[in-house]
Chain A
């Protein structure tokens, strides 16, 4: 079984059947602008790092169902457009559109190709460095919709760009399907940090398809966080490091409650000498199933790549399936992996108990540490903010 299966009710269904279950977002009616969002909706968006009143954001993009409601950016060095507008402006974005992923890859890519709702186009001009992040929000507000987006992000030579993407559904919504195609281009010496926080409904299917290309000396950092129940997520971004010394780092923190089936990972192709990659996942099952994949492919000498899957099962029936793969095609590579799945080590719990904490306090201290999402390379303020989002979600666990 390559991917998690789709289940509707108790039935296994094919991808095509799954697509038929939901109606196109284009047939829905959303509010005209984000000012009409209710308090609980704004609160929910905040849990994915999206704050519509936040002063420390360079730009904001909000797409609800199929409608782009906000698309504004303060920096003249950044171009932020609905992707449909960018396609018009740049004559079909030929160099970037379906270049890193094939539109024929599977039913979901075909669907997004044929029935596109919208998506964002972000481009940082050469040498442009923005401190505060851009926030992009993909929001499903009505029951039983299929939202299909295609995003293009380009960090031109020497630029630095920081994006927070919050994906979520209306607090009272249960079912939906999100298909998100994303293509990231990190050019020579550029640095792109992409932080994605998911907060879906418990019966929502999520099918991101992501390709990344990093050129010489470029850096791509991805941080993926999903702490709440979701029916099924299946994604395996592929990063290709095409230029010498390019770097890609993937960090994910996943909690799978009962009923959630989350199949995530990253594939990194290290094509050029001196490229480096790190794929780290920390997953917790509180009853759900997680498949944590990582596939590193070394095609050039002097590359360095490391894979790490740490899994904790905190319920009787959780499943964590770590699949680390290393594939080297030449001599002179330095590739390693580390995987550990199980319960919290008794030794760690007792260590804290020896200082006076009871077993429950000790366990929750360790779990909170496990869910620490601060990563190297993120601005400290953003790290703190993310950590707060996580702690907030963790309280409800």
Chain B
């Protein structure tokens, strides 16, 4: 589904991503861990094609096609979708209007509101005064309307209370077709600090980002436990260990 080859990205004249390699297969869910400021959001924004993220080197292949320099909406049309960590406020634009724009289904807003308990939410202006948890819900609702094939979720569970965590994880499970493993076509890359999401959504692989590079690939639960017990720096050592084995 997604293949990233030696990706170097510069933001405001500074190298942020320094040679990322990553592969996500169809139907797979991957987790991305990493310290604050290590470049996780930058990777997602680059995959989506946002301006300000300049690819200096390397390629992004999506469903076999090189999309490194495609416009944002073309990537969205091909099936890429992001839930943003800090989306902008759109004054006067009601959430239900956006949902209607993103989906062919008439009355998508009411159906989703009913399915996931969103009273009073649809009429709100997008992201205006949304609480942390409301932002997450609104992002996932929009993705449900859009129904992408590869979901890039930037900390979908941060700042969400226990009850809402349940709703949010239901939405993610739906988006990733977790309940139909045999027919699953959707893939995901989920950034998480808390690892809480792993209690609800099984992930196939985990990666750790440190200082613009991906160290350590492996079982997400194992990795998360290591980070909890030994900190991120240990993961760096872990890769050094992998490399030393190769030599």
Contacts and interface: CB of A to CB of B under 8 A. Distances in A.
Interface of A: 310, 345-348, 350-359, 361-362, 365-366, 368-372
A157 to B, nearest CB: 34
A353 B77 CA distance: 10
Contacts of A370: 91-92
Which 3 A/B pairs are nearest by Cβ-Cβ distance?
A372-B92, A369-B92, A369-B93
11 contacts: A351-B84, A353-B73, A354-B50, A354-B72, A356-B73, A356-B146, A358-B73, A361-B101, A365-B98, A369-B125, A372-B93
Contacts of A366: 90, 93
Given A355-B98, A371-B92, 18 more contacts: A310-B91, A351-B84, A352-B90, A352-B98, A353-B72, A353-B73, A355-B101, A355-B102, A356-B73, A358-B73, A365-B90, A365-B93, A365-B97, A368-B93, A369-B93, A369-B94, A370-B91, A372-B92
B97 A353 contact: no
A365 B95 CA distance: 12
Contacts of B142: 355
Contacts of A345: 88
Contacts of A346: 51
A57 to B, nearest CB: 26
B142 to A, nearest CB: 6
A362 B81 CA distance: 16
Interface in B217-231: none
B172 interface: no
A319 to B, nearest CB: 22
A368 B73 CA distance: 20
Interface in B72-110: 72-73, 75-77, 81-82, 84, 87-88, 90-94, 97-98, 101-102
A357 B87 contact: no
A356 B90 contact: no
Nearest to B128: A369
Given A353-B76, A358-B73, A369 B146 contact: no
Contacts of A352: 90, 98
A128 to B, nearest CB: 31
A98 to B, nearest CB: 38
Contacts of B75: 354
B159 interface: no
B125 A359 contact: no
Interface in B144-169: 146
B90 A369 contact: yes
Contacts of A361: 101
A356 B92 contact: no
B48 interface: yes
A368 B125 CA distance: 12
Interface in B173-230: none
Interface residues of B, number: 26
Contacts of B37: none
A352 B81 CA distance: 11
A356 B102 contact: yes
B76 A348 contact: no
Contacts of B94: 369
Nearest to B99: A355
A351 B73 CA distance: 10
Given A357-B73, A357-B101, A351 B93 contact: no
Contact of B88 (A348, A355, A365, A372): A348
A182 to B, nearest CB: 28
B91 A355 contact: no
Nearest to B76: A356
Interface string B62-74: 0000000001110
B91 to A, nearest CB: 6
B146 A355 contact: yes
Contact of A369 (B48, B84, B87, B91): B91
Quick one: which of B84, B87, B92, B146 has the most chain A CB within 10 A? B92
Interface in B4-26: none
Contacts of B146: 355-356
B44 to A, nearest CB: 10
Contacts of B71: 353
A355 B92 contact: no
A270 B19 CA distance: 61
Nearest to B152: A354
B90 A368 contact: no
A345 B102 CA distance: 21
A366 B94 CA distance: 10
Contacts of A362: 73
Given A365-B93, A369-B90, A369-B125, A354 B81 contact: yes
